Structure formats: C-alpha cells, structure tokens
Amino acid sequence: MLHPTAIIHRDAQLGAGVTVGPYAVIEGAARIGDGCVIQAHAIIGAHVVMGRENLIGYGAIIGGDPQDFAFQTAVQSSVQIGDGNKIREYATIHRGTAEGSATVVGSGCFLMAGAHVAHNCHVGDHVVIANNALLAGHVAVGERAFIGGGCVFHQFVRIGRLAICQGGAAFSKDLPPFTTGTGLNSVAGLNSVGLRRAGFTGGQRAEIKAAFSLLYRRGLNTAQALAAARERPWGEAAQAFWDFAAGAKKRGLCDFTAGRRGAPAEPDET
C-alpha cells in the first residue's frame, strides 16, 4: 500500500507488498525488497539497497550523505541492508564515503529510536543497538552484539561477536567478543548470560573463560598473552577470541576494569 502523500522517485524499485506511509520519501534508484514497511516521514536515499521484511520507522533517514568534510556528493556509494530488520523512529544510517564503498547492516537487527550508524560501518546479523547509541565511521559490530542506550564509539572501533555494551559507555578501543564493556574503554568481564543463551556448552564457556583470564588476569600485555596462547590448542570460539585480539592493531584492546589485572580467575559458571 502506497499512501497518496508519499513521494516515490520513478526510478525506485519496490518489491511486492511494500507499504509506504504518509509523507515518506523514496529517492532515486533505491531498491526495497518484498514486504518492507516504510513508515510516515521516513526518507530512503537513492543509494539504498534493502532486503525483505524490513521495518523503517517514523522519520528515519536511511542512505543520507556521510558527515565527512572530504565527501563529494557525486561519489557512488551505498547503504546495504539485509532482511527482517527493525529500524525504529529517527534512526539514521549514512552511505559510504568512498567510491564504491558501503555501509552494511545485516539481517535480523534491531536499531532502536535515535540510533546512528555512520558511513562505512559494518553491523553483523542479529545485533541490537539501543536508543541514541552512536557509531562513528568504519565501526564494525559482530553478530549478536548488544549495544546499550547512549553508547558512543570512535571511528574504526571493532565490537566483537556476542559482546554487550552497558548503557552510556564510551569506546575508542576494540571490545573483544563474548565480553561486557562498560565505562570508558573498560571490560568488566564475560557476557556469561549471553553465552548460555546462545547455546555455548559448559566446556566452550570454560575455554573462553580461560582465554579471557590469560589475556586480562595474568599481568601480561597483549603481545605476551598472544604468544602464550599460541602454545596450546583452542576450540573454535576461544580461537575466535584470540584472532580478534591479534587484529587489534589500529585501536588497541579495551582494558580490564581498573584494579583487577592479575586477579585470580573465578570458576566457570555452568
């Protein structure tokens, strides 16, 4: 259903069963998949490619130009969105800043009111970004991460898979997978509840906890912990933790909560 007050460019491609609400605007050659709902006053830019069954909330702006002083409006960049996302009212997602680049949101994500995803961010599947959280350019968010309300992220920061960020936290360093981020560039511990809910076995959780302990509780720097980790085999999940740590070359890793380095590891929770 297309509301008569909606403005839809003749080059836009709308799939079957798309609903466009009052005063919504769909620009240029935007492509919108089957079953999407575009609510009132939302704006979909000309460079947006969207999958199926997405909800775009009231007043949301998808595909706007990046907030980059060097950006040239003639640049051909895009926003690419998967399937089954809920992008709520007044959320903003900007297109890529360089020629041929894209801002990417996966499938099954929930971006709450006022969330901002800047140019060239990559958001994995089933990510939750709560109200008024702000992602600067080139931030990468792993699948099933949860970003609390009001969190802010410096450009090029990485948030690992199944990490959780407590509301109001600020990050200019990488947050490893499976951890809980808090405060300013701080890790409070493991996301134990999230790991259990995601179906990780007791053995997998124990190995992740051992990796966390080696990185954060033994008084080692990151290079020393990585060297020690290479001396033993790890399962897939724990190895992903180490692979992420090894890739933290641009921003560095968040630190463990002040005063806890070198503390003994707690027993695994089962």
pLDDT single digits (tens) 98-144: 999 999 999 999 999 999 999 999 999 999 999 999 999 999 999 99
Q: Where are the chain's structural domains?
A: 7-156, 200-256
What gap in Å lies between CA 229 and CA 188, rounded to an integer? Answer: 21
Give pLDDT, residue 267: 37
Residue 225 binned pLDDT confidence (cut-offs 50, 70, 90): very high
Stretch 160-169: mean pLDDT: 98
The class (CATH top level) of 7-156 is mainly beta
Stretch 26-37: mean pLDDT: 98
User: Does residue 171 contact residue 154 with C-beta atoms inside 8 Å?
Assistant: yes
What gap in Å lies between CA 118 and CA 116, rounded to an integer? Answer: 6
Give the CA-trace dihedral at 221, 232, 163, 66, to 10 degrees. Answer: 70
Give the residue from 114, 97, 113, 118 showing the smallest Cα distance to 105.
118
Whether residue 270 is predicted with pLDDT greater than 80 in this model: the reply is no
Strand order in the sheet with 31-32: 13-14, 31-32, 48-50, 78-81, 102-105, 122-123, 140-141, 158-159
Give pLDDT, residue 97: 97
Residue 249 binned pLDDT confidence (cut-offs 50, 70, 90): confident
Q: Which tokens go with 223?
A: 């290079």
Superfamily of domain 200-256: Udp N-acetylglucosamine O-acyltransferase, C-terminal domain (1.20.1180.10)
Residue 65 binned pLDDT confidence (cut-offs 50, 70, 90): very high
